[in-house]
Chains A and B, each alone.
Chain A
Amino acid sequence: MTTVQQPVQPQPKAEARETHFSSKRVLLTIAVILVVLFSLAPILWQLLTSFKTNQAISAVPNVYFPRPDQLTWQHYVELFQRRPFLNYMFNSAFVAVTSTLLCLAIGTPAAYALARLRLKGERIILGLILIVTLFPYILLFLGLLEIVRAAGLANNYLALIIPYTAINIPLTVLVMRSFFLQLPRDLEDSAKVDGYNTWQMLTQILLPMTVPALVTTGILAFIFAWNEYIFALTFITRETMKTIPVAVAQLGGATLFEIPYGPIAAATVVGTLPLVLLVLFFQRRIVQGLTSGAVKG
């Protein structure tokens, strides 16, 4: 507005425009706050509940802003002292990490092959993979149960690791394939001319550029495995091998009719925290445009 010299600049009009502009901003801010509140409210409520004393939790009317004497660490202490919660966390972490790594290790080469090789029936393969991702995984449950029984895998981490890996592979393949497709092919050709053999090319040229996509798909696979409930509930019955979702669901009160809101909330918070930390930690790695500069765009 100021760089272009205009002979007559009607002042009121400019002002009107500015107020219009700022009212737009205000609306936008309000909308953002509402959306954030809407999505964060349940989590914030859980967080609050996990720190409130039992009395404060059951108080009517609801305690939104607890006094200091209504706050307590007790629920957390209880989680780790009265129950093997560290153990549950280890189980979850082990199963989730292993299945995620396996999933990436199997899915990424497959995706690369699908992106780069001219395979016969490539469309059919992709179509099948897509159909698998659309298939509700719960429906696999009964069949898997039979298999687990027949293979004698009950109460074995493998009973969870294998299905989690399998369920996540189609998504991994699809996401990684579209990533490979947009990587310039010249880079690989250039590496070949430079004398990299296939393995060196994959590990030294391709892999460093693939990290953001690997992290993104890895996080998705990890979250699924971390949160999965049905398989974990049925295939694992031994107490020391249970994962967090199952353990949280089985937190019981002293009596049948008492629901231990506090410990459940605390367990939820503890169970969610690793995911939040994971995303925050890798957020920096998910840098857009890591490939910029490879080719003139």
Chain B
Amino acid sequence: MAKLELQNLNKTYSPKVIPVKDVSLTVDNGEFLTLLGPSGCGKSTTLRLIAGLEQPTRGKVFIGDRDVTNLPPGKRDISMVFQSYALYPHMTVYDNIASGLKLQHMSSNEIRERIRESSGALGLEELMGRKPGQLSGGQRQRVALARALVRRPEVFLLDEPLSNLDALLREQVRAELKQLFEAQNTPVVYVTHDQTEAMTLSTKVAVLNRGDVQQLDPPQRIYTHPANMFVAGFIGSPQMNLLHLKSDGKNAVLGDYRIPLPGGFTSPPDVTLGIRPEHVRLAQPGDAHSFQGRVFLVENLGMSNLLSVQLPGSENRTIRSLLPADRPWSQEDVTLALPPDAIHWFNTETGERLSNNTRPLVSNTANSTPLADSNPRL
């Protein structure tokens, strides 16, 4: 078992198509790194560079102490699960799983033993004699997983392995994946554009956009401390409210209201206020910042209601608030509070995060419990 290290990886197809610009990462034993990002941001390309299916234009890949940059995929001791599963259609399930081991000249007894071990956990014993064409999508997915696990490689690579499953099955397999890979003390690199998968599975998330790592942090921190506006808008559902505001140096101006900026930096003229809908709550007496607004859209999400509220002022600003379903509100006009410590500040021009507030995650339940410790600065 060994750690995986990427050094300044770059892949340039043509001067205009650079799916991976400059990616440096390390994934330690037992770490589960998720590459998360919108479609076309270079996730798969990064994974293929690690696998050796593409040659990097610049940069190096290390597995343990080995520089594998110039090794072919088969010599890197990795296994990979493809989005399409890529099972060999003319081989039985057993042969599919055994194929990698046979190439390592393992004795057939040992192969049988290993396959029994890994397929037992996945419930594949009954299917060993079938061809992939006779399996359901979920079963194929398990075979693909078993084929990767049975090799006991130094690094696991998975490219959107769940995206072809229906929602219910996906949730179930996600939980299984988590258990399976927690048991492996091996670096895992997992590609997805589904943030729920990223949040639930990983120990570390790399948010990619246009070939660059935007943020590399544990999932929790990605959620509580988005490093820039892209990450803030990409992570979290419903999406974070992002309001572009003018700043007078000390305060951000929202209509008639002035929202004090935290200290510790010189404020640019344009700032962006970010606050997650789940942190926007109905104002209670004594709240520092509350705004009158008019509800113009209510979306019932079952567990909660998503209110779209028009803020007063000349600009047509809207803010969305996620309220627990059992929380009533006056139908038309509401007064919303923006808890100061749930606000993220960004430089509108560069998109970078301004403040450095270190505040524990506020969950939905915070809406019903009054905030005990208001930020003293405000």
Query: Which residues of A come within 8 Å of B, CB atoms?
Result: 184, 186-187, 189-197, 200, 205, 208-209, 289-296
Q: B137–A296 contact, CB under 8 A?
A: yes
Q: A195–B104 contact, CB under 8 A?
A: yes
Complexed CA–CA distance, A190 and B53 (Å): 9
Stretch from B76-84, B308-316, B359-367 forming part of the interface with A: B76-84
Q: Which residues of A contact B274 (CB under 8 A)?
A: none
A-B contacts, 12 of them at CB < 8 A, read A186-B83, A189-B51, A189-B86, A194-B151, A195-B75, A196-B74, A196-B99, A205-B88, A293-B132, A293-B140, A294-B132, A296-B141
Q: Which residues of B contact A191 (CB under 8 A)?
A: 88
Q: B73–A292 contact, CB under 8 A?
A: no
Minimum CB distance partner of B103 in chain A: A195
Q: With A186-B82, A192-B73, A196-B74 in contact, do A293 and B137 touch (Cβ < 8 Å)?
A: no
The contact of B53 among A189, A196, A292, by CB within 8 Å, is A189
Q: Which residues of B contact A184 (CB under 8 A)?
A: 84, 86
Report B176 CB to chain A, min CB distance, Å. 18
Report A200 CB to chain B, min CB distance, Å. 7
Query: Which residues of B come within 8 Å of A, CB atoms?
Result: 48, 51-53, 72-75, 78-80, 82-90, 99-100, 103-104, 131-135, 137, 140-141, 147, 151, 164
Complexed CA–CA distance, A32 and B147 (Å): 49
Complexed CA–CA distance, A208 and B83 (Å): 23
Minimum CB distance partner of A187 in chain B: B86
Q: A195–B134 contact, CB under 8 A?
A: no
Complexed CA–CA distance, A194 and B100 (Å): 5
Q: With A209-B89, A293-B132, A294-B88 in contact, do A192 and B74 touch (Cβ < 8 Å)?
A: yes
Report A194 CB to chain B, min CB distance, Å. 4
Complexed CA–CA distance, A29 and B262 (Å): 84
Q: B72–A192 contact, CB under 8 A?
A: yes
Complexed CA–CA distance, A135 and B22 (Å): 51
The contact of A193 among B80, B84, B132, B134, by CB within 8 Å, is B80
Complexed CA–CA distance, A294 and B87 (Å): 5
Q: A195–B90 contact, CB under 8 A?
A: no
Q: What 5 pairs across the A-B complex have the smallest Cβ distances?
A: A293-B133, A195-B74, A293-B132, A295-B84, A190-B86
Q: B82–A296 contact, CB under 8 A?
A: no
Q: Which residues of A contact B90 (CB under 8 A)?
A: 208-209, 290
Q: A293–B89 contact, CB under 8 A?
A: yes
Minimum CB distance partner of B137 in chain A: A296
Q: A193–B74 contact, CB under 8 A?
A: yes
Q: With A292-B133, A293-B132, A296-B164 in contact, do A187 and B88 touch (Cβ < 8 Å)?
A: yes
Q: Which residues of B contact A192 (CB under 8 A)?
A: 52-53, 72-74
Minimum CB distance partner of A296 in chain B: B164
Minimum CB distance partner of A201 in chain B: B74
The contact of A295 among B74, B75, B85, B103, by CB within 8 Å, is B85
Complexed CA–CA distance, A162 and B52 (Å): 41
Q: With A200-B103, A293-B133 in contact, do A193 and B73 touch (Cβ < 8 Å)?
A: yes
Minimum CB distance partner of B79 in chain A: A193
Complexed CA–CA distance, A205 and B85 (Å): 15
Complexed CA–CA distance, A209 and B147 (Å): 20
Q: B134–A190 contact, CB under 8 A?
A: no
The contact of A296 among B52, B79, B84, B100, by CB within 8 Å, is B84
Q: B131–A295 contact, CB under 8 A?
A: no
Q: 12 more A-B contacts (CB under 8 A) besides A186-B86, A295-B86?
A: A186-B84, A187-B86, A189-B51, A189-B53, A189-B86, A190-B87, A194-B99, A195-B100, A196-B103, A293-B131, A294-B89, A294-B132
Report B118 CB to chain A, min CB distance, Å. 15
Q: Which residues of B contact A296 (CB under 8 A)?
A: 84-85, 137, 140-141, 164
Q: B104–A293 contact, CB under 8 A?
A: no
Q: Which residues of B contact A187 (CB under 8 A)?
A: 86, 88
Q: Which residues of B contact A208 (CB under 8 A)?
A: 90
Q: Which residues of A contact B131 (CB under 8 A)?
A: 293
Complexed CA–CA distance, A95 and B316 (Å): 81
Complexed CA–CA distance, A191 and B103 (Å): 11
Report A114 CB to chain B, min CB distance, Å. 20
Q: Which residues of B contact A295 (CB under 8 A)?
A: 84-87
Complexed CA–CA distance, A252 and B75 (Å): 68
Complexed CA–CA distance, A192 and B78 (Å): 11
Complexed CA–CA distance, A187 and B85 (Å): 8
Complexed CA–CA distance, A289 and B89 (Å): 10
Report A199 CB to chain B, min CB distance, Å. 12
Report A214 CB to chain B, min CB distance, Å. 14
Minimum CB distance partner of B81 in chain A: A190
Q: Which residues of B contact A293 (CB under 8 A)?
A: 87, 89, 131-135, 140
Complexed CA–CA distance, A186 and B144 (Å): 12
Complexed CA–CA distance, A60 and B304 (Å): 94
Report A196 CB to chain B, min CB distance, Å. 6
Q: Which residues of B contact A200 (CB under 8 A)?
A: 103
Q: Which residues of A contact B52 (CB under 8 A)?
A: 192
Q: Which residues of A contact B53 (CB under 8 A)?
A: 189, 192-193
